[in-house]
Amino acid sequence: MQTAFPSSFSRTKIPAYIYAVVFSSLCIVWGLLWDIMWHMSIGRDGLFAPPHLLMYVGAVVAGAFSGFKILQLTFAKMNAERASSVRFWGVFYGSLGAMYCVWGALTMLTSAPFDEWWHNTYGLDVQILTPPHTVLLIGMMTVQFGAMIGVLALQNRFSNTLTSSPSTDVQSHERQGKRLKIMFTIAAGLLLSILFTMLAEKMGPWTSHHSSAYITMGIALPFYLLAVGRASSLRYPITITAAAYMLAMLIPSWILPFFPATPRLGPVLNPVTHYQAFLFPLLLVIPGFVLDKLLHRFGNGKLNDWLLAALTGTVFILVITPVQWYFGGFLHTSPYAQNGFFLSNSMSYSNDPTWPYHHTFHPHWLQSTPEFLKGIGIAILCAILSARVGLLWGNWMKRVQR
């Protein structure tokens, strides 16, 4: 998506709506995690429960700032930024990121009354992916993808201007560009947090000794991590994205258990008195660092993308498997993990504390060595295909400038 930019672009600062949509993405992640912990600790919530309000704030801020930007470009015909915008519905002009944010915000707000009706009809959710939550998650991820694309397009345009305009204030421009690069990896880490939350039931510590968890990781993670790695111009984008994801997941779970919470919906099998934390995230910084190193060595056309996908997909599974096997086992079984840092002392009020498999692997989640190795082989094949899709997506993102 190459385009010509006005000469004044080099003097343009990062627009406010870019900061707004990244902030919205953070509100959405923390609102969702708070909502999960609310369900674990209190139970039934209302339409305007505090976690929901935080998510709505994210939707409204993203929709309002992005919508204003679209209307500004649509009606201000002499606006120089209009040349680098996308026309849609034959009327409106705006960036791809702004359009995704508006659509995602509308989807999120539409899901709210649907979720209220669902609770009134069927009671408390027992799964994350109920129909209204699925609609909500689609809206959330659309807003977050819009935040990513909005930052990425501006990053790519800044880079294009720096190389094409010798009159650019290089020092100031490089500071803005570096800020955009970091904001992109933060936005990517926040979207990764939602992706993990959607699949947490299949990748939790209790699944770490079963190959199905690594098949899920092989399908869901390489395409995303490699797309980010290829699209970003930072030296260690996958590592930073993984670190942002881990912090985004951990901060609410480290803070909220200090606050009191009382169950309001039976049966109360575990009478908790404080918020119960969510899961400790996957240690993606380790395979993320390895993937960054592989992209340094074999990326940028040094290796055919199919061969690069085969290498990165295979290495991802070979690294994440021992990391999560041992760390997941530690989280699930070790008494040293049952604290406020590693979060393994968390237990929903609806869980029976006398169940024997809270801190021991259930036989369902254990496999023989041949079965496990067969599953890891399948995970490697899935990861290779996932990595190839990720590289293709990353190529597209590198060209986004609108």
Mean pLDDT of 390-402: 83
Percent of the chain residues topping a pLDDT of 90? 48
CATH number of 203-402: 1.20.1450
Length of the chain: 402
The pLDDT of residue 10 is 42
Yes or no: say if 319 and 386 are a contact pair by the CB < 8 Å rule. no
Using the predicted structure, report yes or no on whether residue 352 has a pLDDT greater than 70: yes
The residue-averaged pLDDT of 341-351 equals 93
94-108, 186-200, 261-275: segment of lowest average pLDDT = 94-108
Determine whether 235 is exposed, middle or buried from the number of CB atoms within 10 Å of its CB (0-12, 13-18, 19+): exposed
- Please give the C-alpha separations between residue 207 and each of 179, 202, 217, 338, 366, in angstroms, as whole numbers: 38, 7, 12, 17, 8
Alpha-carbon distance of 80 to 208, in angstroms, equals 53
Residue 254: pLDDT band by 50, 70, 90 thresholds?
very high
Pick the range with the lowest mean pLDDT from 14-23, 155-164, 199-208: 155-164
pLDDT at 213 over 80: yes
Q: Which residues contact 355 (CB under 8 A, 6 or more apart)?
A: none
Across the range 217-243, mean pLDDT stands at 93
**76 conformational bin, left if phi > 0, alpha if psi -120 to 50, beta if neither:** beta
Mean pLDDT across 247-269: 92
Pick from 104-118, 155-169, 261-275, 349-363: least confident: 155-169
Cis peptide before 353 (omega within 30 of 0): no
CA neighbours within 13 Å on the CB side: how many for 131?
8
How far apart are the C-alpha atoms of 352 and 341, rounded to whole Å?
A: 23
Predicted local confidence at residue 170, as pLDDT = 59
Across the chain, mean pLDDT equals 85
Joined together, the tokens standing for residue 251 give 């901060």
